[in-house]
C-alpha cells in the first residue's frame, strides 16, 4: 500500500494530470471563435486587454463590482491557496530558509517566518473555504445552482487543508521539511525512493493521497476554471476598433446655407 | 385548427384567432370576432376603423401605420383602445380580417 | 395551451409554418436522438459554447444580475442554471466525468421533457449578455441559448412569432411583411406629418439609384414608431445627404440571430449586400434596432459570402460624430420634458454605443436623468431577443420580466408629473415598453433617440 501510494501512484498522477489537461485544452482549441462576441465598451489596445484579463484573473474585478462578499471570500481563498502552493515549493525547496535571501534576515528568522506564513495562510484558506461552503448551503440562489459535486469539492478541500493544518499545528504529527524534500527529489530524479517512513504518519499519508486524487480528477472537473478563465476572457475581451464615422459627400454647412428642407429654400439638389 | 362558424360557414382561424383567408371576411365575421373580444356592440366608429383598415389592406397588403390610422379615422389612440381593448394591431386588425402583425410590434 | 408540465412556453409554429422556413419538423420520438446529434455537431464548432459548458464554477453571481430571475424567481431562470439545462446533457454524453459520475456531477439523460424545458427557458432569456458582463470568467449564456434555440429550430420547435418573422424576411425582406407600396405610402405620410408639425420639407427616397448612403430603418418604425422615421429623415435632409431606403431590405433587425444563425440570418445579410450593390451606395447607415445592430456590426464580417465593400455605421455614431464636430444646430429646449435613457443591451454590451448615445442625449434634451444602473450595467427591457409574445400566459411573464426596468424608471422620477420620456432606441425595447409603461403605470412616453434629434434640430 505504501509502495503504491508513495512510489507508483505519483507517476500515474503526474501523467494523468498532464495528459488530462492537454486533452481538455485540445478540445477547447478544436472549437473556434466563430463570430466576434467581444463585450463592449471596447478595449482599444492589447495593453488594455492584458490589464483587463489580469484584473479579472488576479483581482476578480467583476466579483468586486457586483458582489463584495463573494469577492472577499473568493479572493481570500485563492490568494491563500496561491501562497500555500508557493509555500510548499519554496518551503520544501529551501527548507524554510527562503527568506534568508533577503539581506538582514537570518536563516532562523526565515524559518520562523515560513512557519508563521504557512500557518496563517493555512487557517485563512480553511476559513475562506468554510465561507464558500456556507454560501452554497445557505444562500438560496447559490444553493439553487449547486450540484452535489460543487459541495463535495469544497468538503474535499476542507479535509485536505484541514489535515495539512493539523500537521502544522500539532508538533507530534509535524513532518520534517528535509525528509520531504529528499523524498520528492528522489521521485523527480527517478532515483531509489527514500524516507518512505514519512507515510507512516497517517496525516501525511492522507494529505498526500488526497492531493494525488485531486490532481487526477483536476482535468475532469470544475477546477479547470483555472484555464477556463483565460480561454473565455480571450474570447470576450479583445481589441475592437469602430469603423470611422463620417458620411460620404456630406457638407452640412453648405446644406444649411442652401436652406435644404426649408419650404422657401431651394429644393434639395444633389451635391448642394 | 381553431375555427369560427358564421352563417353556417366554417372559417379557419390561426392559433391567435386571426382569420387565415382574408377573402372569407364579411361583416358578420367582424361581429362574431367582436363577441369573442368582449366588444358588446359595433358602433359607427368601430366600423369606421374596420373599414379603413380593410381599404388600406386591400391596396397595400399591410396594415397602416398606427398614427395614420388615427389621423385618417379621427380617432385618438386612446379612443381606439376604448373601441378595441386589445389595441389597434391585435384587436382592430383581427376584426377587420387582417393577418396578425409580425415583427417587433 | 402554451404550457408544458407547468412551464410557460410561447405558441409554436405549426409544421406547415416550419416548412415555409425550410425546416421539416422532427417527429417527437426521434427528437432526443436528433438533438444529441445537432448538439454534438455544434459543440465542436463554437468555443464560446464549449467554455460555457466546461468552465463555470457555479459561483452564483449571475443570479441577482439577471432581470428574468429577478422578475420570476424561477431557479431555472438563473443564467448558469439556464445553461445547465443543456450542460447536464452535454456532461452526460460528451464528458468523461459525466459518463462516470452521472448525477453526482449533474449529468442527465436526454429526453423529450428536457427538450421542452429548453423551449420554455431559452425563450425566457433575453440574450442581453448582462450575465456575461458580470461573470468573473466572462461566460456568455447568450451563446448557450443561441445554440439551444438553433437546435430547437432544427428539431422544428420555433415560436410562431419568430417563424413568421423568418418567413416574412424571406418573402419581402423585412419582419412585418411590408411590401414596397406600403413602404412608399407610409413614407409619403411621414413627409406630410413632418411638414405639418415641423414645417420642413423632407423627402424619403426609396430605391434611389446612385445614392451615397443606404439607410436601413427598422420595419417596426413603419407601423409603430413614426418619430423614429421622421427623425432619421429630418437628419439626412438637414445634412444634405444623398440617401435612400432600400425596399428589398427595409429591415434593421435580423431575427435570424435569435433563432437561426445558419440560414435565416445569413440569408438576410446577402439581401443587404445585394441591395447595397444594386443601389451603388458608398456607405450603409443603420437605424434604431438593438439585436439588428449587433447582427449587422458584429456578424456580417463572419457571415458574408463575399468581401463587404461598404462601411457600416449606426445612425447614432454619425449623429454623435457631427455633434462632436459642432456641425448640427440642436436646441435642447425643444425637448424640455424629463428624459431617462434605457440602454438597449446590444448597444452597450455588444456594440460599444454607450458614450455616443449620451453625447446625443446631452445635446438634444434639457433634463436628462440617468437611471441606475446605466450604460453597460443597465438591465434589459424584458423583451430582448424578440420574446414579445402576446398570448395571455407569456404576456404575464413579460410584465414580470420588465419589473426591474419599471423599478429603475420609477427611481429616476421622470414620470412623476406624467410627462416623462423613456428613451429606448431599439424596436424590440419600444414594442416591449409601449405596453409595459402602461402596465406598470410609469407616467412616461416611450421614444427613440433619433426622435429627439429630429425634434431638436434648428433649421434656420
- Where are the domains positioned within chain C? 24-157, 171-322, 329-456
Q: What are the φ/ψ torsions at residue C385 (nearest 5 degrees)? A: 70, 25
- C-alpha span between C5 and C76 (Å, rounded): 14
Q: Which residue numbers of B are catalytic?
A: 104
CA atoms within 13 A on the CB side of C152: 31
- C-alpha span between A54 and A124 (Å, rounded): 23
Residues 6+ apart with CB under 8 A from C22: C263
Domain B3-95, CATH 1.10.10.370 — does that match? yes
Contact in structure between C335 and C364 (CB atoms under 8 Å):
yes
CA nearest neighbour of C405 among C385, C432, C425, C366: C432
Contact in structure between A149 and C58 (CB atoms under 8 Å):
no
CA distance to partner chain A, nearest, from residue C418 (Å): 33
Q: Does C205 touch chain A (CB under 8 A)?
A: no
- C-alpha span between C319 and C296 (Å, rounded): 19
Give residue A269's pLDDT band: very low, low, confident or very high (50, 70, 90): very low
Task: Tell how strand C213-216 and strand C283-286 pair up.
Answer: parallel
A183, part of any domain: yes
Neighbouring C-beta atoms of residue A32, cutoff 10 Å:
12
Question: Average pLDDT, stretch A92-101?
Answer: 94
Contact in structure between C448 and C231 (CB atoms under 8 Å):
yes
- CA-CA-CA-CA torsion sign (A124, A126, A130, A132): positive
Summarize pLDDT for A242-258 with one digit per residue, the tens.
999 999 999 999 999 99
pLDDT exceeds 50 at position A271:
no
Q: What are the φ/ψ torsions at residue B5 (nearest 5 degrees)? A: -105, 120
**A224 and C55: CB-CB below 8 Å?**
yes
Give me the domain span that covers residue A148: 2-26+68-235
Of the candidates C47, C134, C285, the beta carbon closest to that of A31 is on C47
* Mutation to test the A interface, candidates C137, C199, C349, most A Cβ within 10 Å: C137
- The pLDDT assigned to A3 comes to 86
The residue ranges of chain B whose pLDDT is under 50 are: none
* Mutation to test the C interface, candidates A247, A263, A268, most C Cβ within 10 Å: A247
Contact in structure between A33 and C48 (CB atoms under 8 Å):
yes
- The pLDDT assigned to C261 comes to 97
Categorise residue C66: left if φ over 0, alpha if ψ from -120 to 50, beta otherwise: beta
Q: Does A41 touch chain C (CB under 8 A)?
A: yes
Burial of C116 (0-12, 13-18, 19+ CB in 10 A): middle
Of the candidates C242, C313, C322, the beta carbon closest to that of A243 is on C313
- C-alpha span between C172 and C183 (Å, rounded): 11
- C-alpha span between C448 and C450 (Å, rounded): 6
Contact in structure between A142 and C55 (CB atoms under 8 Å):
no
- The pLDDT assigned to B96 comes to 96
- CA-CA-CA-CA torsion sign (C13, C14, C20, C26): positive
A36, part of any domain: no
Q: Do B and A touch (≥3 CB pairs < 8 Å)?
A: no
Q: Does A203 touch chain C (CB under 8 A)?
A: no
C-alpha R_g of chain C: 22
Residue B71, SS3 per DSSP? helix
- C-alpha span between A11 and A14 (Å, rounded): 5
Q: What is the CATH number of the domain that holds A94?
A: 1.20.950.20
- The CATH number of C171-322, from 1.20.1050, 3.30.1330, 2.40.30, 1.10.3470, is 1.20.1050
Q: What is the average pLDDT value for chain C, to the nearest integer?
A: 97
- C-alpha span between C181 and C283 (Å, rounded): 25
Closest residue on chain B to C392 (Cα): B16
Contact in structure between A199 and A2 (CB atoms under 8 Å):
yes
- C-alpha span between A56 and A41 (Å, rounded): 16
**C348 and A40: CB-CB below 8 Å?**
yes
Give residue A194's pLDDT band: very low, low, confident or very high (50, 70, 90): confident
How far does CA C139 lie from the centroid of its chain?
20
Of the candidates B63, B90, B104, the beta carbon closest to that of C431 is on B104
CATH architecture of C24-157: Orthogonal Bundle (1.10)
Q: Does A69 touch chain C (CB under 8 A)?
A: no
Q: Does A252 touch chain C (CB under 8 A)?
A: yes
Contact in structure between C240 and A258 (CB atoms under 8 Å):
yes
Summarize pLDDT for C135-153 with one digit per residue, the tens.
999 999 999 999 999 999 9
Residues 6+ apart with CB under 8 A from C257: C146, C265, C291, C292, C294, C295, C299
A166, part of any domain: yes
- Which chains have at least 3 CB atom pairs separated by less than 8 Å from chain C? A, B
- Which chains have at least 3 CB atom pairs separated by less than 8 Å from chain B? C
A244, part of any domain: no
Q: What's the per-residue H, E or C state across C234-282?
A: HHHHHCCCCEEECCCCCCCCCCHHHHCCCCHHHHHHHHHHHHHHHHCCC
- C-alpha span between C35 and A49 (Å, rounded): 37
Summarize pLDDT for B29-59 with one digit per residue, the tens.
999 999 989 999 999 999 999 999 999 999 9
Residue with cell 524534500: A181
Burial of C303 (0-12, 13-18, 19+ CB in 10 A): buried
A124, part of any domain: yes
**B101 and C176: CB-CB below 8 Å?**
yes
pLDDT exceeds 70 at position A268:
no
pLDDT exceeds 60 at position A20:
yes
Task: State chain C's maximal CA–CA distance in angstroms.
Answer: 76
**CA dihedral of C359, C361, C362, C365, whole degrees rounded to 10:** 160
DSSP string, A165-215: HHHHH-GGG---HHHHHHHHHHHHTTPPP--GGGGGSHHHHHHHHHHHHHH
The ipTM estimated for the assembled molecules is 0.94
Residues 6+ apart with CB under 8 A from C349: A39, A40, C128, C129, C130, C132, C133, C376
- The pLDDT assigned to A270 comes to 41
Residue with cell 467554455: C51
Residue with cell 434611389: C208
What string of pLDDT tens digits covers the 460 residues of chain C?
Answer: 567 899 999 999 999 999 999 999 999 999 999 999 999 999 999 999 999 999 999 999 999 999 999 999 999 999 999 999 999 999 999 999 999 999 999 999 999 999 999 999 999 999 999 999 999 999 999 999 999 999 999 999 999 999 999 999 999 999 999 999 999 999 999 999 999 999 999 999 999 999 999 999 999 999 999 999 999 999 999 999 999 999 999 999 999 999 999 999 999 999 999 999 999 999 999 999 999 999 999 999 999 999 999 999 999 999 999 999 999 999 999 999 999 999 999 999 999 999 999 999 999 999 999 999 999 999 999 999 999 998 889 999 999 999 999 999 999 999 999 999 999 999 999 999 999 999 999 999 999 999 999 999 999 8
- Cite the DSSP H helix spans in chain B: 27-36, 44-60, 66-73, 77-83, 87, 93-95
* Mutation to test the A interface, candidates C44, C50, C239, C240, most A Cβ within 10 Å: C240
**A245 and C321: CB-CB below 8 Å?**
yes
Neighbouring C-beta atoms of residue C359, cutoff 10 Å:
17
Of the candidates C165, C182, C218, the beta carbon closest to that of B102 is on C165
- C-alpha span between B29 and B41 (Å, rounded): 13
Q: What are the φ/ψ torsions at residue C374 (nearest 5 degrees)? A: -135, 180
Q: What are the cell numbers at C183?
A: 413602404
- CA-CA-CA-CA torsion sign (C298, C348, C122, C447): negative
- CA-CA-CA-CA torsion sign (C170, C174, C179, C181): negative
Q: CA triplet C34, C35, C39: central angle to 5 degrees?
A: 115
C-alpha R_g of chain B: 13
> How many structural domains is chain A composed of?
1
CA atoms within 13 A on the CB side of C173: 18
Q: What's the per-residue H, E or C state across C284-336?
A: EEECCCHHHHHHHHHHHHHHCCCCCCCCEEEHHHHHHHHHHCCCCCECHHHCC
pLDDT exceeds 60 at position A156:
yes
Residue with cell 481538455: A24
Instruction: List chain B domain ranges.
Output: 3-95
Amino acid at each position: 500500500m505504501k509502495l503504491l501510494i508513495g512510489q507508483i501512484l505519483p507517476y500515474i498522477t503526474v501523467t494523468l494530470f498532464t495528459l488530462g489537461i492537454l486533452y481538455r485544452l485540445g478540445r477547447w482549441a478544436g472549437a473556434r471563435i466563430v463570430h466576434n462576441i467581444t463585450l463592449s465598451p471596447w478595449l482599444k489596445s492589447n495593453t488594455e486587454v492584458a490589464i483587463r484579463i489580469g484584473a479579472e484573473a488576479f483581482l476578480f474585478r467583476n466579483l468586486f463590482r457586483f458582489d463584495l462578499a463573494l469577492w472577499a471570500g473568493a479572493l481570500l481563498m485563492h490568494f491563500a491557496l496561491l501562497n500555500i502552493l508557493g509555500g510548499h515549493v519554496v518551503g520544501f525547496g529551501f527548507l524554510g530558509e527562503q527568506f534568508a535571501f533577503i539581506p538582514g534576515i537570518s536563516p532562523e528568522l526565515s524559518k520562523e517566518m515560513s512557519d508563521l506564513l504557512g500557518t496563517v495562510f493555512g487557517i485563512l484558506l480553511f476559513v475562506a473555504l468554510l465561507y464558500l461552503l456556507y454560501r452554497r448551503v445557505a444562500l438560496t440562489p447559490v444553493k439553487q445552482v449547486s450540484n452535489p459535486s460543487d459541495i463535495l469539492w469544497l468538503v474535499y478541500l476542507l479535509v485536505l487543508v484541514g489535515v495539512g493544518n493539523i500537521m502544522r499545528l500539532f508538533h507530534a504529527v509535524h513532518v520534517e521539511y528535509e525528509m520531504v524534500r529528499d523524498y520528492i527529489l528522489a521521485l523527480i530524479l527517478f532515483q531509489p525512493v527514500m524516507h518512505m517512513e514519512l507515510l507512516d504518519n497517517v496525516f501525511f499519508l492522507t494529505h498526500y493521497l488526497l492531493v494525488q486524487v485531486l490532481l487526477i480528477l483536476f482535468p475532469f472537473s470544475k477546477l479547470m476554471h483555472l484555464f477556463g478563465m483565460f480561454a473565455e476572457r480571450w474570447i470576450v475581451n479583445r481589441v475592437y476598433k469602430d469603423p470611422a464615422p463620417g458620411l460620404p459627400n456630406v457638407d452640412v454647412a453648405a446644406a444649411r446655407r442652401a436652406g435644404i428642407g426649408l419650404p422657401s429654400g431651394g429644393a434639395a439638389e444633389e451635391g448642394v | 385548427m381553431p375555427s369560427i362558424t358564421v352563417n353556417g360557414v366554417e372559417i379557419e382561424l390561426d392559433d391567435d384567432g386571426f382569420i387565415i383567408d382574408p377573402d372569407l371576411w364579411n361583416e358578420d365575421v367582424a361581429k362574431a370576432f367582436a363577441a369573442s373580444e368582449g366588444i358588446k356592440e359595433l358602433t359607427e366608429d368601430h366600423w369606421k376603423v374596420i373599414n379603413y383598415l380593410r381599404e388600406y389592406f386591400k391596396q397595400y397588403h399591410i396594415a397602416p401605420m398606427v398614427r395614420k390610422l388615427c389621423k385618417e379615422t379621427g380617432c385618438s389612440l386612446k379612443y381606439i383602445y376604448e373601441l378595441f381593448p386589445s389595441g389597434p394591431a391585435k384587436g382592430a386588425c383581427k376584426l377587420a380580417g387582417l393577418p396578425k402583425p409580425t415583427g417587433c410590434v | 395551451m402554451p404550457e408544458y408540465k407547468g412551464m410557460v412556453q410561447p405558441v409554436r409554429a405549426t409544421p406547415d409554418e416550419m416548412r415555409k422556413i425550410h425546416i421539416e419538423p422532427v417527429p417527437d420520438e426521434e427528437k432526443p436522438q436528433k438533438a444529441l446529434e445537432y448538439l454534438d455537431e455544434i459543440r465542436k464548432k463554437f468555443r464560446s459554447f464549449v467554455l460555457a459548458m466546461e468552465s463555470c464554477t457555479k459561483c452564483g453571481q449571475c443570479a441577482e444580475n439577471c432581470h428574468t430571475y429577478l422578475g420570476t424567481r424561477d431557479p431555472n431562470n438563473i443564467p448558469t442554471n439556464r445553461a445547465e439545462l443543456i450542460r447536464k446533457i452535454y456532461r452526460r454524453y460528451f464528458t468523461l466525468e459525466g459518463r462516470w459520475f452521472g448525477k453526482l456531477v449533474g449529468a442527465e439523460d436526454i429526453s423529450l421533457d428536457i427538450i421542452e424545458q429548453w423551449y420554455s427557458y431559452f425563450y425566457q432569456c433575453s440574450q442581453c449578455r448582462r450575465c456575461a458582463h458580470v461573470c468573473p470568467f466572462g461566460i456568455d449564456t447568450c451563446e448557450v441559448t443561441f445554440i439551444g434555440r438553433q437546435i430547437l429550430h432544427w428539431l422544428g420547435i420555433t415560436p410562431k412569432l419568430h417563424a413568421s418573422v423568418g418567413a416574412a424576411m424571406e418573402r419581402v425582406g423585412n419582419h412585418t411583411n411590408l411590401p414596397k407600396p406600403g413602404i412608399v405610402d407610409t413614407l409619403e405620410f411621414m413627409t406630410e406629418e413632418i411638414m405639418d408639425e415641423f414645417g420642413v420639407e423632407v423627402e424619403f427616397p426609396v430605391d434611389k439609384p446612385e445614392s451615397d448612403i443606404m439607410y436601413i430603418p427598422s420595419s417596426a418604425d413603419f407601423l409603430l414608431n413614426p418619430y423614429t422615421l421622421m427623425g432619421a429623415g429630418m437628419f439626412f435632409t438637414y445634412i444634405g445627404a444623398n440617401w435612400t431606403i432600400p425596399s428589398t431590405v427595409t429591415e434593421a433587425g435580423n431575427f435570424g440571430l435569435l433563432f437561426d444563425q445558419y440560414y435565416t440570418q445569413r440569408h438576410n445579410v446577402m439581401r443587404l449586400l445585394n441591395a447595397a450593390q444594386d443601389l451603388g451606395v458608398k456607405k450603409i447607415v443603420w437605424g434604431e434596432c438593438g439585436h439588428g445592430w449587433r447582427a449587422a456590426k458584429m456578424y456580417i464580417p463572419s457571415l458574408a459570402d463575399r468581401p463587404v465593400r461598404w462601411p457600416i455605421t449606426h445612425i447614432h455614431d454619425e449623429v454623435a460624430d457631427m455633434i462632436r464636430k459642432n456641425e448640427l444646430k440642436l436646441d435642447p429646449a425643444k425637448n424640455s420634458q424629463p428624459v431617462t435613457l434605457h440602454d438597449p443591451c446590444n448597444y452597450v454590451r455588444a456594440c460599444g454605443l454607450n458614450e455616443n448615445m449620451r453625447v446625443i442625449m446631452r445635446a438634444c434634451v434639457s433634463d436628462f436623468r440617468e437611471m441606475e444602473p446605466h450604460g453597460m450595467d443597465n438591465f434589459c427591457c424584458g423583451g430582448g431577443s424578440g420574446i414579445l409574445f402576446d398570448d395571455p400566459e407569456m404576456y404575464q411573464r413579460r410584465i414580470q420580466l420588465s419589473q426591474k426596468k419599471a423599478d429603475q424608471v420609477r427611481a429616476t422620477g421622470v414620470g412623476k408629473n406624467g410627462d416623462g420620456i423613456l428613451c429606448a432606441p431599439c424596436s424590440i425595447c419600444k414594442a416591449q415598453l409601449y405596453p409595459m409603461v402602461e402596465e406598470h403605470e410609469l407616467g412616461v412616453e416611450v421614444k427613440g433617440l433619433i426622435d429627439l434629434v429630429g425634434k431638436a434640430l434648428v433649421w434656420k
